[in-house]
Amino acid sequence: MTERTDPDYISFTDAATLIVRHGLAGSMTPRGLRYMARARATEETPADRRWPFGDGPGQEPYLVAGKTRMMRTSVLLEYLAKYPPKGRGPAREATPES
């Protein structure tokens, strides 16, 4: 069997799957990952915890392929290993009331 290697650059869509496969989160959607990127890119976020991609100081620019923003996979995985995703997790089904 061929060993699976991670791509050098990855989209938000593929990164969500990769994050789960690497065990950094129990579940992740592209939308959730984009939300985390926006939330962690604010001025209120301490500089050392700030999202590593973007146009700001200390951030690595996204690689744009068509309309898709791509991130360097190794940088993303290192960042999320150090600052793992936190959240409520997937939506739960409503339970019928008695």
User: Does residue 62 or residue 88 have the better pLDDT?
Assistant: 62
Q: Residue range 78-93: average pLDDT?
A: 79
pLDDT, residue 89, reads 56
Kindly tell me if the per-residue pLDDT of 98 is higher than 60: no
| The model scores a pTM over 0.75 | yes
Kindly report the number of other CB atoms within 10 A of residue 96's CB atom.
5
- Structure tokens given for 50: 């700030």
Provide the b/e sequence for 19-47 (b: ≥16 CB within 10 Å). beeeebbeebeeebbeebbeebbeeeeee
Kindly tell me if the per-residue pLDDT of 1 is higher than 90: no
